[in-house]
A and B are shown apart, each in its own frame.
Chain A
Amino acid sequence: MSGEEFVPLSLTPMLIGVLAAVACALPGNFLVLRKQALIGDAISHVVLPGIVVAFLITGVVAAAPMMLGAAGAALVSVVMIEAIRRLGNIEPGAAMGLTFTTLFAAGVLLLEQSDTSSVHLDVEHALYGNLESLIWLDAIGWKSLLDPVALAGLPSELGRVVIALLGVCAFLWLFWRPLVLSTFDESFAQAMGIATNRLGVALVMVAALAAVAAFDAVGSIIVIAMFICPPAAARLMTNRLEHQVAWSVVFAVLSAVLGYVFAGYGPLWLGFDNAVSAAGMIATVSGLILALAACFAPHRHRSRAPVV
């Protein structure tokens, strides 16, 4: 494939897919280890009502208010889950399910009630995004990467995903030690003076940041899949957290690239002439990777003390 075709049509969607996948997979490692994997599920569902409310308030479909609305909804959902769990003494899974279905239902209802027919805002889009449309029309080939005029025409989603990824990396780099400590042994961390509750909320908010930026570009299926599948597969590859995180990045990148390629070119190879959903295919590939890891990865079984 020539650069003239690849750079404008495939480079940016692929890059956005990869960055979004990595931004979600990184915090996903901790969510999976803390048995909070489904927080990712909950967050990605509540993004819809956040965006709808932002639209109703501002009346425009613009990135900034929608991101804020989505982040606000994520915060509301986290607070709501915690409140329901503590106030009602309800197990976390049920509190989560209750919260995200209710907020999602409210979002759908608001959407149906408001006049959004003139704008591109619908539930399907929220669920599986539109990665394929994030093309770079100003590019004419590889050399456009050095052309400031062309670079100015990069899809704005790219910039947001980059910022989110940087934010996630900065958070993990800065709070790596207390995060590891409080994930492994909460009471010891508390005895050390670490504010484990606040750290837990911060982790979820960082995950929400990644989810919102990724969602904007690729829809919520990828978000859930990338929060869980690459870290879960990575856990089966190694018994060291640093290595697990590295593997999860590898798997996230692999899922995004292969998923995008299969979605765009797979049908052509099979003789069909239409591409299929890239977001769905990326999630599917991440699932295949997890399945392979679950069958063959070196550390797939629970470790046991050797018989002495």
Chain B
Amino acid sequence: MSLELAANMGAAPKAEIPSDSPLAIRGMTVSYGQKPVVFSVDMTVAEGSMTAIIGPNGAGKSTLLKAALGIVQPLAGQALVYGKSLKAARHRIAYVPQRASVDWDFPTRVIDVVLMGLYRELGLLRRIRPHHIEKARACLERVGMTDFADRQIGQLSGGQQQRVFLARALAQEADLYLLDEPFAGVDAATEKAIIDVLKSLRSEGKTVVAVHHDLTTVRSYFDRVFLINTRKMAEGTVDDAFTSDNLNQTYGGRLATGQIDQLELTAG
């Protein structure tokens, strides 16, 4: 009877995940102590898309990304990258952690941080050659930070720090870009610069997934959304999934109806 019941409730068995999806998460559960932060989440990222992970504070957005990258240990579940295990496909992922997660007083320069993105290429002992520096400078150029290459990183503004992190991810020359709150606490110019880079990545056929906070910009920045509040609440194109019903359910009535109406307006 379970199958009929399931069908009744609109939870039809899902199609098999396409094996070439840049990121497929299955049954992921992560808990800090006794509280599951992410519970039994499935996610399938479409190739060449820009996906926003959306949900209220503490809904497990960052944790989901970290679990997919093996940074936090899940209680259950697994992530496949381009149909392979994380270990086999790590080189195809670039990751931009939250800006606040590092000590910006660290004694290093902007260009050195970008060169960290070449770690997999350089390995332990290979020497840094002029063409590596060229590549790092080109990445800085893309985010408009060329003039700051020799600055100590502590002397940057928040927005500039975020751009340096993005440049480091660009240096990784990956196919899948995972960004944790790239727009948190940055100035308007930086936000524009970052979204321009992300869109150009998409036009090159790369896939972008970002944890995102600002509901008003979802429609203009992203083409797909993934709504999460511990459980997956909705997943799909912005038109299909970014609906007031889904938002209400995700935010559990914490968004005033007026706010949602506004979002619908920006859509039009």
A binding-site residues for B, Cβ under 8 Å = 33, 174-178, 180-181, 183-188, 190-194, 235, 238-241, 243-244, 302-306, 308
Chain B residue numbers with a CB within 8 Å of A305 are 154-158, 160
Please give the distance in Å from B181's CB to the nearest CB on chain A. Answer: 13
- On whether A191 and B106 interact (CB within 8 A), knowing A181-B119, A185-B116, the answer reads no
The answer for the CA separation of A239 and B154 in the assembled complex, in Å, is 9
Bound CA span A17–B230, Å: 57
- The size of the chain B interface, using a CB distance under 8 A, is 34
State whether A177 and B124 are in contact (beta carbons under 8 Å apart), knowing that A184-B108, A192-B119, A303-B152 are contacts in the complex: yes
Known contacts A181-B116, A240-B107, A303-B105: A188-B124 contact under CB 8 Å: no
**Closest approach, in angstroms, between the C-beta of B128 and any C-beta of chain A?**
10
Q: Are B90 and A193 in contact (CB under 8 A)?
A: yes
Instruction: Closest B residue to A33 by CB, please name it.
Output: B106
Residues of B within 8 A of A240 (CB): 107-109, 112, 152
Contact A190 B108 (CB under 8 A): no
**Complex CA distance for A175 and B119, rounded to whole angstroms:** 12
Given A302-B154, A304-B155, A306-B155: A244 and B119 interface contact (C-beta under 8 Å)? no
A238 to B106, CA, bound (A): 11
Contacts of B105-128 to chain A: CB distance below 8 A: 105-109, 112-113, 116, 119-120, 122-125
Known: A181-B116, A191-B71. A175 touches B124 (CB 8 A): yes
Q: Roughly how many angstroms separate A235 CA and B107 CA in the complex, as a whole number?
A: 8
- Chain A to chain B contacts (Cβ below 8 Å), 15 pairs: A175-B124, A177-B119, A178-B119, A181-B119, A184-B116, A187-B95, A190-B71, A191-B71, A191-B97, A192-B119, A240-B108, A244-B107, A302-B105, A305-B155, A305-B156
Contact status B154-A303, CB under 8 Å: yes
B131 interface contact, C-beta 8 A: no
Interface of A is mostly: helix
* Residue ID in chain A nearest B172 by CB atoms: A192
Asked if A188 and B95 sit within 8 Å, CB to CB, the answer is yes
Q: Is B25 an interface residue (CB 8 A)?
A: no
* From A174, A181, A187, A193, residue with most partner B Cβ within 10 Å: A187
**Distance of A178 Cα from B120 Cα, bound (Å):** 10
Q: Is the CB of B105 within 8 A of A185?
A: no
User: Does B101 lie at the interface of the complex (its beta carbon under 8 Å from any beta carbon of A)?
Assistant: yes
- A181, B119: Cα distance in complex, Å: 9
Chain A residues in 8 Å Cβ range of B69: 190-191
Cβ contacts under 8 Å, B103 to chain A: 184
| Cβ of B102 under 8 Å from chain A | yes
B155 pairs with A187, CB closer than 8 A = no
Residues of B within 8 A of A238 (CB): 107
Report the Cα distance A239→B106, complex, angstroms. 8
B178 and chain A: residue at smallest CB distance: A191
B97 touches A187 (CB 8 A): yes
Known: A178-B124, A183-B106, A184-B116. A308 touches B71 (CB 8 A): no
Contact A185 B155 (CB under 8 A): no
**B91 and chain A: residue at smallest CB distance:** A193
A239 to B157, CA, bound (A): 17
Q: Which residue of the partner chain, among A175, A178, A192, A239, contacts B90 with CB atoms under 8 Å?
A: A192
- Chain A residue numbers with a CB within 8 Å of B18 are none
CB of B93 within 8 A of chain A? yes
Give the chain A neighbours of B87 by CB distance below 8 A.
Answer: 193
Task: Indicate if B185 sits at the interface (CB-CB under 8 A).
Answer: no
C-alpha gap A180/B102 in the complex (Å) = 12
Which chain B residue shows the least CB distance to A183?
A: B106
Q: Tell me how far the C-beta of A73 lies from the nearest C-beta in chain B, rounded to whole angstroms.
A: 30
A184 to B161, CA, bound (A): 14
Give Cα distance in the complex from A302 to B105, angstroms: 7
Min CB distance, B94 to chain A, in Å? 9
CA distance A180 to B123 in the complex (A): 13
Q: How far is the CA of A186 from the CA of B106 in the complex (A)?
A: 13
One of A181, A187, A239 near B66 (C-beta < 8 A): A187
Q: Is the CB of B124 within 8 A of A239?
A: no
**A185 near B102 (CB under 8 angstroms)?**
yes
**Closest-CB distance, B133 to chain A (whole angstroms):** 15
* Alpha-carbon distance A178/B125, docked complex (angstroms): 10
A188's partner among B97, B105, B155 (CB-CB below 8 A) is: B97
Which of B105, B123, B158, B168 neighbours the largest number of chain A CB atoms within 10 Å of its CB? Answer: B105
* Nearest chain A CB to B64 CB, angstrom units: 14
Check if B70 is an interface residue, CB within 8 A of chain A. yes
Complex-state Cα separation, A305 to B106, whole angstroms: 14
CB contacts (< 8 Å) of B66 on chain A: these are: 187
Name the one of B95, B97, B107, B156 contacting A239, with C-beta atoms under 8 angstroms.
B107
Q: Which residue of A lies closest to B105 (CB)?
A: A302
Within the complex, the shortest CB–CB distance from B154 to chain A, in Å, comes to: 3
Q: How far is the CA of A108 from the CA of B71 in the complex (A)?
A: 42
Rounded to whole Å, the gap between the CB of A174 and the closest CB of chain B is 6
**Given known contacts A185-B101, A238-B107, A190 and B70 CB-to-CB distance under 8 angstroms:** yes
Since A33-B106, A184-B116 are in contact, a sample of 14 more A-B pairs with Cβ atoms closer than 8 Å, ordered by chain A residue number, is: A177-B122, A177-B124, A178-B119, A178-B124, A187-B97, A192-B120, A193-B87, A193-B120, A239-B108, A239-B152, A240-B152, A302-B105, A303-B155, A308-B157
